[in-house]
Amino acid sequence: MKLGVNIDHIAVLREARKVADPDPLDALSICKRAGADQITIHLREDRRHMQDIDAKNIITLSTLPVNLECAIEASMIDIACNLHPHRVTLVPEKREEVTTEGGLAVTGEQPRLKEAIKRLQAQEIEVSLFIDPTLETVKASLELGVEWIEFHTGKYANIYAMLYSNLSKTHHKIPELELSRKILKKMLDNELHNLRLLSCDAQGFGLKVAAGHGLNMQNVEDIVKIESIEELNIGQSIIARSIFVGLNQAIVDMKEKLIR
Ligand code: PXP
């Protein structure tokens, strides 16, 4: 299974001080050596982490394919067409959110999406849509003629965290908690089942399937078992682990988890 390493969080750390270090550009050779298959970056409209110069340098200098995430705004599509990354993943953006909290409203945004996709594909840039895992969004993506979809795994990751947090492992048996654990386990199984079925459907329709958001060394294991998912894009947990084990080791370890 392929691994796209999202390096935005290196720029988050730099922007916290508005200094020059750490420079996400320095991550490129480490990602490559550690076995990453792709570099993923998100140029947000508010430029809270990656800056235009980062995107330009990374896309120009990376020897791995670059997956540029951006909003459907015409000005962002202009930038994407100019920078010409290997792939553009269109994502929803809300200024007030901490991170990309859900998938694109594919059915509600059809005209703007069509225009953006047409412009990107005219430049021979692969297009992916970051969507919530529903049959409706998969079918709408298919109709829009994109090459890739990326399932937002945030709901799965949140349920996993609630189920396996330290609190739930307490030795004090609390009957209500046991009950809610049963409900959470069922919810987690349902979410995995949904991702498995939809990935298989999407692949059957001829779409390439990626997934990402909130994945880490623990919760990734069941996602890796879904054969129809070809690629995962993982950022926060890899960069967080890299503080303690180094970026190279954090990627090597994640890559090992992705072996089927
Ligand atoms: N895929 C997409 C489309 C994203 O926008 C992001 C970042 O929100 C990720 C993957 C990586 O998510 P995370 O940083 O939680 O691993």
Give the angle subtended at the CA of 253 by the CAs of 64 and 168, to the nearest 5°: 125
Q: Residue 179 Cα, ligand 1 centroid: separation in angstroms?
A: 31
Residue nearest atom 5 in ligand 1 by C-alpha distance = 100
Any domain includes 136: yes
The pTM score is 0.94
Any domain includes 173: no
Tell me which amino acid residue 203 is: Q
The reported pLDDT for the residue numbered 102 is 80
Any domain includes 109: yes
Rounded Cα gap, residues 198 and 97, in angstroms: 27
Any domain includes 251: yes
User: Over its length of 260 residues, how does the chain's per-residue pLDDT go in tens digits?
Assistant: 999 999 999 999 999 999 999 999 999 999 999 999 999 999 999 999 999 999 999 999 999 999 999 999 999 999 999 999 999 999 998 766 777 778 898 887 889 999 999 999 999 999 999 999 999 999 999 999 999 999 999 999 999 999 987 665 566 666 776 768 889 999 999 999 999 999 999 999 999 999 999 999 999 999 999 999 999 999 999 999 999 999 999 999 999 999 99
Any domain includes 83: yes
CATH number at residue 93: 3.20.20.70
Any domain includes 105: yes
Q: 123 is in which domain, residue-wise?
A: 2-153+231-257
Any domain includes 247: yes
The reported pLDDT for the residue numbered 62 is 98
Whether 171 sits among the annotated catalytic residues: the reply is: no
The closest-lying atom of ligand 1 relative to the alpha carbon of residue 233 is 10
User: Is 214's C-beta closer than 6 angstroms to any atom of ligand 1?
Assistant: yes
Rounded Cα gap, residues 12 and 7, in angstroms: 9
The closest-lying atom of ligand 1 relative to the alpha carbon of residue 42 is 5
The total of structural domains in the chain comes to: 1
Q: Quote the distance between the C-alpha of residue 64 and its chain's center.
A: 17
Rounded Cα gap, residues 199 and 98, in angstroms: 27
**Structure-block tokens of residue 88:** 């553009």
Any domain includes 164: no
